[in-house]
Structure 1
Amino acid sequence: MTGAPGAPPRVLTVAGSDSGGGAGIQADLKTMLALGVHGMSVVTAVTAQNSLGVQGAWELPVEAVRAQYRSVVDDIGVEAVKTGMLASAELVETVAELLAATDAPVVVDPVGVSKHGDPLLAATALDSVRERLLPTATVATPNLDEVAQLTGVRVESEAGMREAAQAVLAYGPRWVVIKGGHLSGDAVDLLSDGSEEHWLRAPRYDNRHTHGTGCTLASAIAVRLAQGLTVPEAVAAAKEYVTGAIAAGFALGGGIGPVDHGWALTRGGPAV
Structure 2
Amino acid sequence: MSRRAHYLSLDDILRRIKEDRGAGQGLAYRPWFEIKDVPSLGRRHRIRCSVNGRVVHLLSDLEGDCLHFGEYTDQCLRRAGVGRYTDVREQYPLLPLEETWLIARELGIRHPAVRGQKIVMTTDMVWTYERTNDTVLVPVSVKYLRDKNNPRSQQKAAIEAEYWRRRGYVLEHHDETCAGRIFRKNWTLIRPTLRPEFFKSFPSGIVQAVDECLRKPALGGRLRLTDLAAIGARRLGYSKGQVITAIHRLIADQTWPTDLMSQSLVSLEPLILTPNTPS
In the superposition, the TM-score normalised over structure 1's length comes to 0.27
- Structure with higher strand content: 1
Which of structures 1 and 2 has the larger relative contact order (alpha carbons within 8 angstroms, sep 6+)? 1
- Higher Cα radius of gyration: 2
